[in-house]
Structure 1
Amino acid sequence: MIDNPTRPTDPAIGSTVLGYPRIGPRRELKRAVERYWAGRLSAEELAAAGRELRARTWTELAGSGLTSVPGNTFSLYDQVLDTAVMVDAVPPRFRALGLPPLDTYFAMARGRGDREGHEDVVPLEMTKWFDTNYHYIVPELGPGTAFAPAGEAAGDQDVKPVSEYREAAALGVETRPVLLGPVTFLLLSKPAPGAPAGFAPLDLLDPLLECYAEVLRRLAAAGAAWVQLDEPAFAADRTGAELAALRRAYERLAAAPDRPRLLVAGYFGDLGPALPVLADSAVEAIAVDLVAGPEAAREIPALPGLRRKTLVAGVVDGRNVWRADLPAAAATCASLLGSVGSLAVSTSCSLLHVPYDLDAETGPDPRLRERLAFARQKVAEVVLLGEALRAHDPAVTGRLAEAGEAVRRGRASARRDDRVRARIAALRPHHRRRAPYAERARAQDERLGLPPLATTTIGSFPQTDQVRRARGELRAGRLDEAGYTRRMRGEIERVIALQERLGLDVLVHGEPERSDMVQYFAERLEGFAATEHGWVQSYGSRCVRPPILHGDVARTGPMTVEWSAYAQSLTSRPVKGMLTGPVTILAWSFVRDDQPPAATADQVALALRDEVRDLEAAGIRIVQVDEPALRELLPLRAADRPGYLRWALDAFRLATAGAADATQIHTHMCYAEFGDVIAAIDGLDADVTTIEAARSRMAVLGDLRAAGFGRGVGPGVYDIHSPRVPSEDEVAEALAAAVRTVPAERLWVNPDCGLKTRGYEEVEPALRHMVAAARRARVAARG
């Protein structure tokens, strides 16, 4: 390993992971946080639950054989929010609440305001973490933001990374604190409301670096030998000014006195021109993602600066659940040995994105199980690779070869459906094309007769304890199918009656039968497998269990028709059929890696196409095919985007183009930077697009207008991820802004997203205010 004469006893990185899941193997953090929000757990008890989870993670990783254990990867809500709190970037509206630190932290994430008269404060914006399904809280920065190291949300005496480093050290575990890199933090931030034109968060780099230098000094004083600074923003295209900021940042931090050694980690793709910038800097180590960006392996030998550094090779996939081809990974590592000062091995990114432990699962077929690796298994893969690089041991070599054979056996055993493959081969351009929008709109207006500013919701309604209990009893065998159907029909009756009473124009059945919008379909399609405990954090306390898409996909029969048709039988108003689109099903699953994603997406799309036809035959006049993940999968490099968008749009149109002209196709998108995919939204050719817009203050409408978008659009008029109930005036103000951009006859009125995570005590008044505001706007539009 590299020599540093000032700290000769510093441990080598050797084998490590860049981060680890933090919700707990059984979602212990979710339950603790939600109990705190509900007032059933004190701040001290929540802090104790966090300490227990951290201790379990640190001791497990320390005992696994890793030579370097990451620290500060725990969060009560989100690591970007943690960073904003660490540098005291708390917007004034949250400071003014005068809350304890922990409640200020949660107010930034969730907003503040309820029916008991608390002051009403909207939360920070939330959006997707690069091209993953994890959501982060977007910091708001202005020229007046004054950075300074600040105590963590739970009120510790020092900044969170220092407190957690000392906490681990007290357990006898030396950790490598992980911080979000300063440049990525600024690039992920947005100007605060009222910031002057031309201001950019990157303008604050120099004062932020002073704050980071002080945090590094405190970590060194506490005993930290290494600190990891994550800069994933540089896996995307960056300007010359942004690359210059990266150079300046690490010149400054590397020159800081009394600092730990620095590992700068880039992941989710090739660092591109950022890699030589970091190679020329004085940081001691660089982590590169050789799974998402394998081309970096060819660039590394040409960078002489790396011969003085540790290269941390991310050769074990941190984002998918397939076993690594360890002989291939070892060969990649071996090819780099002569080009760098020393070599360590790691996961490609944090293991935040995969479930905890395959051993907790009892369901997978043995042939599928042999192909899989969750977080704990991936740690073991990294450890084995590290052993292989440190010494030539025939036993280790044999274990590597055995792992490679398991990967090959698994791929050979993947389910194949020749009937589906024949249908794919027979597809022609007309299978992905509908009549022109103007013709469809006329047919739909005649059939549906909806008013301008039609009101609807996105699909799901609150999942009550009774609904969840019924699903649990069905799984446990205490409730038969007939009894379950009766209970679900009872819930649908309640939801339809509520919507009619509130005055909504287009209704939904509420989706009580669905625990998750992807898992539900995966459980009814061949080629998928579900997990029992494969939970992954999506945002805050929200966790999902992504299904595993391991073979050819086929529909064996209708999946949603029974529920939608029953709902439609209860009302004369149109009820939307609710489907999840092919891109989102791929994005929110762990997808097979043995064929191109375009082929897999088309297989899913064919199954959905058949479902659309069955919904039409059952009398459903509107079908919503949600694609909230369209932007999520957009490649970080512009050069890679056209190919992705081609197959993504093709798959959506394949799923929907079989619908009749008079059938109105809706789609929904949320929590992303939509400006990047405006042309693609148009290319979906949906009749109506509902879209998250409340937290971003309707910013997407300007992008749509600039792009000449000419179909129906429903910008979300209130944020459902916050517990606050919007007033009628607030919704009316949002609608007034929307009407200035979109003609009333093409404008829909709806919440930002589905209502599953909210309670009826929030949903009913919010929808009542929304319908009343829509009626006001309708009158104003006429006059």
Structure 2
Amino acid sequence: MNIFSHILGFPRIGPNRELKIAQEKYWNNEISKDELFSVGRKIRKNNLKIQKSACLDFLCVGDFSWYDHVLNNSMMVGNIPTRHRNVNNKVDIDTLFGIARGYNSKNNFACSSEMTKWFNTNYHYIVPEFNKNTYFKFSWKQILEEVDEAINLNFNNIKPILLGPISYLWLGKRDNNTVFDKLELLDKILPIYKNILSEFNKRNIKWVQIDEPILVLDISKKWLESFIYAYNYLNNKNLKILLTTYFGSISHNIDIIKNIPIDGIHIDCVSEKNNLQNLIKMLSKDICISLGVINGRNIWKADLQKIYNEICFIKNFKRNFFISTSCSLMHVPIDISIETKIKKSVLKKFSFAIQKCKELYLLKKCLKNFNKNFFTKKNFFYNSDVYNKRKNVYIKKNDLVRKSTYEFRIKQQIKNLKIPILPTTTIGSFPQTKELRNIRLKFKNNKIDLKKYNFEIKKYIKNVILEQENLGLDVLVHGEPERNDMVEYFGQHLEGFLFTEFGWVQSYGSRCVKPPIIFDNVSRKKPITIKWTKYAQSKTKKLVKGMLTGPVTILLWSFCREDLSKDIISKQIAIAIRKEVKDLENAGIKIIQIDEPAFREGLPLRKKYIKSYLSWAIDAFKLSSSVVNDETQIHTHMCYSNFNNIIDSIIKLDADVITIESSKSHLKLLDCFKNIKYPNGIGPGVYDIHTTNIPSVSNIYDTIKKYIKIFNIENLWINPDCGLKTRNWKEVKISLKNMILATKNLRNKI
């Protein structure tokens, strides 16, 4: 028996977010294409060095991406949306950025492709688009260039990574309302993969990692059987295929998986804890098993002694094993050792990407000799007292319901708020300018005092209110100048959270976040948003929304303690937000928005677990929002959400108004609302804010007219898709001006 170590992928943003900085400079024409490519080469080389220094047996190549790995795959197989083929005659990196961000010039316009969540993570991918006539061509050869690059740098035992053809087809969408079976495209795409595998073979590659994460889902027999067909076609006697699954168990699909002609299978052992031995017994002895035992989605140091005890049974099997991370390490920060402001006693509880590679080295060293006494304090220290005391939450049924039904509440709100038909508003944030970010940084580093900081924040809020009044928006926001990230900001003002300085994780493209760490019981000691919301309201006679992040999103977008259920933690957070909601109401704020962009992404990947999740997630939101009087209007916002299978749960949230992103999907996310009359207020976004493209009055006008056919006009709100923090003021003013003008034009015809 041989044991090899590897990971499924490494973060691609660079230790200091070098990729983000280079991307944005390139987009702003501040650096050349060659300078951008130079940054990519440095990141890839450094990532290989890190893996090699951790003595991993196989090193990842192909996990780097200029924007998104699914988009990389679309580029690789030449699946370029028709509207983007007209921009350039050749497929290059500008094509890639155009698909992701949209393209606009004096002569050309092409809207960006839809973006949605990568399974149940907080990473976003660019959704491939297919039609019955889609053809494929090996157009983007970055994977071969990176393999050659690694070979030329004298890195041995490299392991290229590809997104599998079947998962790729599954993750895409049919465009233009085309009705056809996406599996009809399988025979068209497989030759591209076979060609690439042949190229790997020419380069003496031993193993290739092909990711097929949809094998953890509930998929039809037809899709499952396509794996046997596809991998029979791709079978290469001189190249070994490691089929990779993650984010869940594969037990329910094992009868098909065991018949797929592959050389290795990766199992996410963080998800597959109880049935591992039986699973291994069911797989052919000729197949190498990759055990994903190091959690690739959380940042707690691994209990290697416990992991060893759980998997040491492998010594009884006469087969080869890999040990690995449960999934790619792109979901965790890069290096805990560069953190300087966290106490060492706390720091040693955590493990980021580099440290997880080292954990694999230690685990392999132990497994090689099957020495259960290896993990002494000298070799590896694990503090079993990781968490603080547990705190359960006790709530009453009345805490989860509004005082009256929506039908009664809305009458009170119409009377109290005096909002016109088709009210216009924004989602919350306004542009985070370089000057504003500099002010926050100076205050953080004690370069300006509190008085100066407050003066600058007030100046920004006053300007934001004035700009909104000049534009003619009906319901205003304070613009959130004091906030860096919607989750990090609230975590910084709640007890039980810990924050890193450099713990960046990619969310999409150049967008990086620093997820808080929930390490203790969560509570609110003092108000968080009251000061700035009250100030904004004092500067206008129009209504100003209070802006909060909801408990489910705070939980799911944080690294969470693992000794308490998500149900309990979400309710701890909900009680804290509930106090903030009541304080806002008491301060005279009549509309309060509790954003839950992560609500849909938190759904378990398998149907049998969905009911349990929705139960506690709905309760958490209602616990945070149901404390107000009937006259106070509760809003919520959700991102990239396909509501088809959870529309009943959205209704159960009982928010007075829900705003959602829909324009990027070309309104297809609204299909579920055609079959059910949504009873409450709703604001489907009328234009996409994730692009530099300026929406025209006519485009917005036509979009609103489509919405009126789906929703009761009396319940319809008009707003952008999402917050405006990533846009510049010029874009924002023109876009909102067009949105308001289109709305007024429609009002005049009603």
TM-score range, shorter chain: over 0.9
Name the stretch that deviates more: 336-345 or 602-611: 336-345
1:311 counterpart = 2:289: yes
Cα 1:33–1:370 shift into 2, 3 Å = same
2:159 maps to 176
1:96 counterpart = 2:60: no
Secondary structure of 2:495's counterpart equals strand
Q: CA deviation at 1:627?
A: 0.3
Secondary structure of 1:690's counterpart equals strand
1:742 maps to 711
Secondary structure of 2:602's counterpart equals coil
Cα distance in 2 for partners of 1:394, 1:573 equals 68
2:444 maps to 475
Question: Any conservation in 2 of the 1:415–1:527 contact (CA below 8 Å)?
Answer: no
1:528 counterpart = 2:497: yes
Letter in 2 for 1:649: I
Question: Any conservation in 2 of the 1:268–1:293 contact (CA below 8 Å)?
Answer: no
Question: Any conservation in 1 of the 2:503–2:515 contact (CA below 8 Å)?
Answer: yes
1:54 counterpart = 2:44: yes
**Deviation per residue, 1:632-657 (Å, 9 max, x gap):** 11000000011111000000000011
Secondary structure of 1:591's counterpart equals coil
Letter in 1 for 2:146: E
Map 1:496-535 onto structure 2 (within 5 A): 496-535=465-504
1:106 maps to 97
1:124 maps to 113
Cα distance in 2 for partners of 1:247, 1:695 equals 35
Q: CA deviation at 1:282?
A: 2.3
1:29 maps to 19
Extract unaligned runs of 5+ from structure 1. Answer: 2-11, 152-158
Letter in 1 for 2:144: V
Q: CA deviation at 1:339?
A: 4.6
Map 1:692-731 onto structure 2 (within 5 A): 692-731=661-700
Cα 1:22–1:773 shift into 2, 3 Å = same
Question: Any conservation in 1 of the 2:228–2:261 contact (CA below 8 Å)?
Answer: no
2:600 maps to 631
Q: Please provide the CA RMSD for this pair.
A: 1.6
1:659 maps to 628
Q: CA deviation at 1:400?
A: 9.6
Q: CA deviation at 1:767?
A: 0.6
Cα distance in 1 for partners of 2:344, 2:61 equals 34
Question: Any conservation in 1 of the 2:686–2:719 contact (CA below 8 Å)?
Answer: yes
Cα distance in 2 for partners of 1:743, 1:672 equals 21
Extract unaligned runs of 5+ from structure 2. Answer: none
| TM-score in terms of structure 2 length | 0.97
Q: CA deviation at 1:99?
A: 5.9
1:142 counterpart = 2:131: yes
Cα distance in 1 for partners of 2:219, 2:287 equals 24
**Deviation per residue, 1:46-104 (Å, 9 max, x gap):** 11110111011111211211111111100000000000000011122111112661111
Secondary structure of 2:262's counterpart equals coil
1:266 maps to 245
1:203 counterpart = 2:181: no
Question: Any conservation in 1 of the 2:678–2:711 contact (CA below 8 Å)?
Answer: no
Cα distance in 2 for partners of 1:118, 1:376 equals 47
Cα distance in 2 for partners of 1:336, 1:399 equals 25
Cα distance in 1 for partners of 2:614, 2:600 equals 9
Question: Any conservation in 1 of the 2:304–2:375 contact (CA below 8 Å)?
Answer: no
1:617 maps to 586
Question: Any conservation in 2 of the 1:13–1:67 contact (CA below 8 Å)?
Answer: no
1:87 maps to 77
Map 1:603-614 onto structure 2 (within 5 A): 603-614=572-583
Q: 1:677 aligns with which of 646, 652, 657?
A: 646
Cα distance in 1 for partners of 2:268, 2:718 equals 43
Letter in 1 for 2:333: P
Cα distance in 2 for partners of 1:399, 1:391 equals 18
Map 1:754-765 onto structure 2 (within 5 A): 754-765=723-734
Map 1:384-463 onto structure 2 (within 5 A): 384-393=362-371, 396-398=374-376, 402-403=380-381, 405-406=382-383, 408-411=384-387, 414=388, 421=392, 424-425=393-394, 427-434=395-402, 435-463=404-432
Question: Any conservation in 2 of the 1:327–1:401 contact (CA below 8 Å)?
Answer: no
Question: Any conservation in 2 of the 1:270–1:295 contact (CA below 8 Å)?
Answer: no
**Deviation per residue, 1:220-264 (Å, 9 max, x gap):** 11221111000111211111111111221222212x46x521000
Cα distance in 1 for partners of 2:143, 2:315 equals 32
Cα distance in 1 for partners of 2:692, 2:710 equals 28
Name the stretch that deviates more: 740-749 or 389-398: 389-398
2:56 maps to 66
Question: Any conservation in 1 of the 2:546–2:589 contact (CA below 8 Å)?
Answer: yes
Cα distance in 2 for partners of 1:721, 1:564 equals 26
Number of aligned residue pairs: give it.
Answer: 747
Question: Any conservation in 2 of the 1:461–1:510 contact (CA below 8 Å)?
Answer: yes
Q: CA deviation at 1:778?
A: 2.1
1:279 counterpart = 2:258: yes
Cα distance in 2 for partners of 1:756, 1:229 equals 37
1:7 maps to none
Cα distance in 1 for partners of 2:676, 2:409 equals 21
Question: Any conservation in 2 of the 1:450–1:505 contact (CA below 8 Å)?
Answer: yes
1:160 counterpart = 2:142: yes
Letter in 1 for 2:191: E
Secondary structure of 2:265's counterpart equals strand
Secondary structure of 1:287's counterpart equals strand
Q: 1:330 aligns with which of 293, 308, 330?
A: 308
Letter in 2 for 1:292: S
1:17 maps to 7
Q: 1:45 aligns with which of 24, 35, 44?
A: 35
**Deviation per residue, 1:116-159 (Å, 9 max, x gap):** x24111011100000000000001111222112123xxxxxxx2
Letter in 2 for 1:124: S
Question: Any conservation in 2 of the 1:180–1:230 contact (CA below 8 Å)?
Answer: yes
1:289 counterpart = 2:268: yes
Cα distance in 2 for partners of 1:30, 1:275 equals 40
1:776 maps to 745
Cα distance in 2 for partners of 1:757, 1:34 equals 11
